[in-house]
Structure 1
Amino acid sequence: MRIPSLRQIEALIAFVESGTVSRAADALRISQPAASKLLGTLEMDTELQLFERDGRRLVLTPQGMRLYQEIDRVFTGVQQIARAVDAIRREERGRLRIGVIPALSGPVIRSAVSSFLDRYPDVFISVMERSSQLISDWLVRGQLDVGIVSASANEVRIRSQDIGVEPLVCVVPRDHPLGHRTSIPLSELQGARFIASSSSSILRLEIDKLLEGQGVIPNVILDADTAKNACEFVAAGLGVSILHPLTISKSLRNEVSILRLDPSTSLGFHFCHPLECRNKALVDAFAEEVQGAVAANLGVFSVA
């Protein structure tokens, strides 16, 4: 038995995957007689019955199929090695693993990543949308390089920087009686149909504190687990809500009115990273892009 050549193996793969010798020849960019010769010599060299004729058509035997399956398994392993090599090369070029909370996983992170890649086109980026708690845990364990969270990590190994600190605003449907206003006293939300944030969120805690401090009790009709959902419900005319301006969906800003609150409370987010960064230059550069994206998104924000 002779060891099959790579060209013979390629001919077998092309034959099995295309179904005929002529199409295998086309795939290999050789003549049909040349493809037939490669398959014939493969059968002779392996001393196996790989093919049989069904009329004028060449078909694979069980032995031929078994050989093809083994070849496919080996080639799959080679492809995995190629992917591993590519991953190692990417690591050398640089990699940034980012965790972001759902509230900022839209325009802000999209703009920041896009601008960052304009500066560092060879850096490989992974973006994962998770809760603040999970992102903080992964930062501590070294599974993330950057985290954008709503609650600052209470951990000495994590450095945190405030971003997007802004007063909370009231969001109402365009056709709401308050929709023509630019600002309202918080007291006007007394008894209003209200769409609240998730009961476990930092935003909900701050809003409840603000309302209780002014003795205002709105009519809470539902809890929305994300700011995007809250905006959708407001746009649908189900009620009003209080949100951070960065979390108001751009796509819905023509369907809602955004009003200043008096009084309000300021709330922001946190850009976090481990004190011991393996790629500090990339983390610092990404921090700049996040700050720019936050400023740009707040710049297009306008109160009705």
Structure 2
Amino acid sequence: MRRPLNLRQVEAFKSVIENGTVSRAAEMLSISQPAVSKLIAHLEEDTGLELFDRVKGRLAPTERGMRLYEEIDRIFAGIRQVENAVAAIRREEQGQLLVGVMPALAGAFIQQATMSFLRSHPNVYCSIQTRSSQWIADWLVTRKLDVGLISSRIDNPYIMSEPLMEHPLVCIMPLDHPLAERSVIEPNDLDSVPFLSFDPESSTGQRITSIFESYSVRLNVVLMTTTAPTLCEFVAAGLGVSLVHPLFISGMKGRVAVRRFEPLVPFDFQLCRIRENRNAGLVETFLRETRLTAERISRELLSET
């Protein structure tokens, strides 16, 4: 009768697969290389499976080895979810709030919203994670985050979301740009004008590309970036013009000219949180401060357009 599997053997096997070599696995597990090799050998003996091919002194996983790894990884993912739930409970008890924010809002906007929240909760530990919208959505579902600010709607029964600051994109440009003399900017006005754009895979980048293609306007893209603060700084420095959501330019008042753009290109963000969050009190307060910050910035910035 084969012996039951040993957890240490499973950990060694998983570490070798993920790190590529026995030496790296040994470092990660804080044990010797011979110890790792012995654990792997015992695992193969106990399972009756050849999990690795020995090629020039290196271990290469077999097909059976990879099938076993996939199952082990699924089980460890479940364990990580339990760990995340424990962390969420501890956050509630210790007064912690974890917020995920897309890069476009990682500048003045999230700083102002968070500072407003901390003024009423000075003893709360607040962590801001800047990541992609999809990353934030995934971490909300697994309870690694309490709040998320993203650019696209999420169809998930465990996540509650609401639109934040629905408003058309505006045109921003250097203060001394010739187009600043106009009150309204149209697509043809930007034909061949140096233009700063977002990643074409982003929701903002896709909308910008679509509107100009529909008007057969050739954009002269001189810079492409994934973050709004970077884009706005280059506009303020005189590199070119761009189309952005008003929230992107919070903190830029007096540094760039803001003009209405037609036809209107509607855009909003999504303010998200997990359903039945144990951290509900802090979450609701943060959501309220975020809404108020968006409303205030909206009034300030849109008065220029």
TM-score bin (small chain): 0.5 to 0.7
Q: Who is 1:266 aligned against? A: 266
Q: Who is 2:191 aligned against? A: 190
Quick one: distance in 2 between partners of 1:278 and 1:90?
A: 9
Q: Who is 1:155 aligned against? A: 156
Q: Who is 1:123 aligned against? A: 124
Residues 94 and 239 of structure 1: CA distance in aligned 2, closer, same or farther (over 3 Å): same
Shift, 1:117, TM fit: 2.3
- Segments ≥4 residues shifted beyond 3 Å: 88-91
Matching of residue 212 in structure 1 with residue 193 in structure 2: no
Quick one: distance in 2 between partners of 1:268 and 1:194?
A: 22
Matching of residue 202 in structure 1 with residue 197 in structure 2: no
Q: Who is 2:249 aligned against? A: 248
Is the 1:90–1:123 contact (alpha carbons within 8 Å) kept by the matching residues of 2? no
Q: How many residues align?
A: 217
Shift, 1:145, TM fit: 0.8
Q: Who is 1:238 aligned against? A: 239
- Structure 2, unmatched stretches of 5+, are 1-88
Shift, 1:288, TM fit: 0.7
Which structure 2 residues correspond to residues 87-106 of structure 1 after superposition, within 5 A? 91-106=92-107
Which structure 2 residues correspond to residues 7-156 of structure 1 after superposition, within 5 A? 91-156=92-157
Residue deviations 1:27-80 (CA, integer Å, cap 9, x gap): xxxxxxxxxxxxxxxxxxxxxxxxxxxxxxxxxxxxxxxxxxxxxxxxxxxxxx
Mean Cα displacement is larger for which, 209-218 or 138-147? 209-218
Amino acid across the alignment from 2:165: G
Shift, 1:147, TM fit: 0.6
Mean Cα displacement is larger for which, 180-189 or 200-209? 180-189
Amino acid across the alignment from 2:277: C
Quick one: distance in 2 between partners of 1:184 and 1:201?
A: 23
SS class of match (2:259): strand
Residue deviations 1:227-265 (CA, integer Å, cap 9, x gap): 122122222222211111110152x43232111011121
Residue deviations 1:79-117 (CA, integer Å, cap 9, x gap): xxxxxxxxx987425321111112212222222222222
Quick one: distance in 2 between partners of 1:126 and 1:233?
A: 28
Is the 2:104–2:227 contact (alpha carbons within 8 Å) kept by the matching residues of 1? yes
Question: Which structure has the larger Rg?
Answer: 1
Amino acid across the alignment from 2:140: L
TM-score under structure 2 length normalisation: 0.66
Quick one: distance in 1 between partners of 2:256 and 2:193?
A: 16
Is the 1:231–1:249 contact (alpha carbons within 8 Å) kept by the matching residues of 2? no
Is the 1:172–1:239 contact (alpha carbons within 8 Å) kept by the matching residues of 2? yes
Quick one: distance in 2 between partners of 1:212 and 1:156?
A: 36
Quick one: distance in 2 between partners of 1:267 and 1:298?
A: 13
Quick one: distance in 2 between partners of 1:238 and 1:119?
A: 40
- Structure 1, unmatched stretches of 5+, are 1-87
Amino acid across the alignment from 1:142: R
Quick one: distance in 2 between partners of 1:89 and 1:235?
A: 43
Residue deviations 1:137-194 (CA, integer Å, cap 9, x gap): 1101110111111122232211111101111011111221112222122221122221
Mean Cα displacement is larger for which, 263-272 or 148-157? 148-157
TM-score under structure 1 length normalisation: 0.66
Shift, 1:120, TM fit: 2.7
Quick one: distance in 2 between partners of 1:95 and 1:211?
A: 44
Is the 1:246–1:297 contact (alpha carbons within 8 Å) kept by the matching residues of 2? yes
Quick one: distance in 1 between partners of 2:233 and 2:126?
A: 30
Q: RMSD across aligned C-alpha pairs, in angstroms?
A: 2.1
SS class of match (2:179): coil
